[in-house]
Amino acid sequence: MNAVPRENLSRDPLASTRESAVVIGGGIVGVCCALYLQRSGYDVTLIDPEAPGNSTAKWSCGQMAVSEIIPLSKPGILMKIPGWLMDQTGPLALRPSALPGIVPWFIRFLMCARHSKIVDIAQSMATLTHDVYADYAPLLDACDDKALMGECPILEVFDNPSGLTHEQPHLELRESLGFKSQRLNAKEIGDLEPALAGKFAHGLMFPDWRAVSDTEGFIAALTSSFIAQGGRRIQTQASRIVESQGRAVGVDLANGERVAAQHVVVAAGTGAQQFFSALGVSVPLAGIAGYQAVVRNPGVEFRHSTIYADGGFCFTPMTRGLQIGGTIEFAGKGAKPNFKRADIILEKAKRVLPDLKTADVEYGVGYRPFLPDTKPIIDRSRRLRNVFMAFGHGQLGLTLGATTGRLIADMVAGRPTKQDITPFSAYRFS
């Protein structure tokens, strides 16, 4: 395992002295970092410009996708790029205007398409995802709402058996790493999900996946727990890490306030880019748009979060409505959202569910912070040794929030980390 050097940051987590920590970014990864630092005895301030729960993970499928460890760079990906340019209605689209800026990222991405690289990435990711539920357990136990995470497994359905055949090598890799799946026939799909009865004859069940009751509410509840336990949350933008003699001493805020800190954690998703110079890193972090639609009073009932593989989206029942989405788009830095992508999702959903009522719909987009190898960064800055990095989780921010929080707290406290964090170094791209 990777023991973090203790240096002069070492401390007894049970000591009475309360050191201060500032976490930049109040999304799921940031709030989990704050909670685990709090559990280790730190006085924690959480900084984010948005209201609690209004983050990238709000516009996600809400799944604890513990075996979603295969990188996006699957074999044959190169041949699909021309199709993405031509077909803006597919599950993954690439705006032509984004192509010049995304080329360096794509080159790195394609380098991860080799089988050996895919296996290496999957093995590294599995070391994190095996601990997801154990790491969330103490955080959820401290929340008032005991039903934040559901009990049902996740389903995936396919239009024809070729989809299952294509997935077989990935299922075998997942199984070799300790994750389960079960094939489903038409009757089993209909029994598990009556809304889909007679519509699909080929499917999978992932018994070790779960879904949260509501993505926004899940993050908001964890934030409320953090505050109830003495944490401070400031709703504004962090503008600068203040440093002195090679160490961070605080964070300047857009409202003019300066928050002193003995430790700083950057967990701001795509917003981490503004701190790269201070961190001393050059990281190919891209914000990939993921579109969702929340349908209130949908007129159809789902029991399970269900992935429609050939449609490229997911149905997830939540307390605020039926969330439908998952389609992603390489739009380019600073591009405005294209909510026609969400319209496309709804049109496809209606083909599957003709009785779906879409009179009351809310659209949203989350910019997933993706790295070319689809692994996150969980690391310490070499330039400012009391600053830590937790970003780049792609589509697994919700899944890996608590595990990342636990690892960051161990690193800050100078404790050995359970997992080897070398594969998640910020300097692996140098």
pLDDT tens per residue across span 27-39: 999 999 999 999 9
Q: Identify whether the C-beta of residue 286 lies closer than 8 Å to the C-beta of residue 106.
A: no
Note whether 328 and 427 are same-domain residues. Answer: no
pLDDT value, residue 76: 66
Confidence bin at 84 (pLDDT 50/70/90): low
Q: Among 329, 351, 370, give the residue marking a domain's end.
A: 370
Domain CATH code at residue 355: 3.30.9.10
Count H helices, E strands: the chain?
Answer: 11, 20
- Two structure tokens written together for 370: 């993706």
Q: What is the pLDDT of residues 247-292, one digit of tens each?
A: 999 999 999 999 999 999 999 999 999 999 999 999 999 999 999 9
Share the mean pLDDT of the chain. 92
Range of the domain at 328: 75-113+151-210+285-370
Q: Which residue has the higher pLDDT, 132 or 87?
A: 132
Q: Among 319, 350, 370, give the residue marking a domain's end.
A: 370
Confidence bin at 2 (pLDDT 50/70/90): very low
Separation of alpha carbons 212 and 326, rounded Å: 16
Interstrand relation of 361-370 and 202-206 (parallel, antiparallel or unpaired): unpaired
* 3-state SS class at 257: coil
Q: What is the DSSP string of 328-343?
A: EEE--TTPPP-THHHH
| Per-residue CA distances from 211 to 144, 177, 242 (Å) | 18, 21, 39
pTM: predicted TM-score of the whole model, two decimal places: 0.93
Note whether 223 and 310 are same-domain residues. Answer: no
Note whether 87 and 181 are same-domain residues. Answer: yes
Note whether 320 and 271 are same-domain residues. Answer: no
* 3-state SS class at 412: helix
Q: What is the pLDDT of residues 97-114, one digit of tens each?
A: 888 888 899 889 989 989
401: Cβ–Cβ under 8 A, 6 or more apart, which residues? 28, 29, 31, 32, 57, 136, 393
Domain CATH code at residue 25: 3.50.50.60
Q: What is the pLDDT of residues 213-233, one digit of tens each?
A: 999 999 999 999 999 999 999
Residue 101 is classified by DSSP as H
Query: What is the percent of the chain where pLDDT is above 70?
Result: 94
Note whether 277 and 169 are same-domain residues. Answer: no
Number of domains in the chain: 2
74: Cβ–Cβ under 8 A, 6 or more apart, which residues? 113, 118, 170
pLDDT value, residue 96: 82
Confidence bin at 82 (pLDDT 50/70/90): confident
Note whether 85 and 182 are same-domain residues. Answer: yes
Q: Among 324, 342, 370, give the residue marking a domain's end.
A: 370
Note whether 300 and 178 are same-domain residues. Answer: yes
At residue 8, does pLDDT exceed 50?
no
At residue 393, does pLDDT exceed 60?
yes
Note whether 81 and 156 are same-domain residues. Answer: yes
Confidence bin at 327 (pLDDT 50/70/90): confident
pLDDT value, residue 31: 98
Note whether 132 and 172 are same-domain residues. Answer: no
* 3-state SS class at 248: strand
Note whether 43 and 123 are same-domain residues. Answer: yes
Note whether 124 and 68 are same-domain residues. Answer: yes
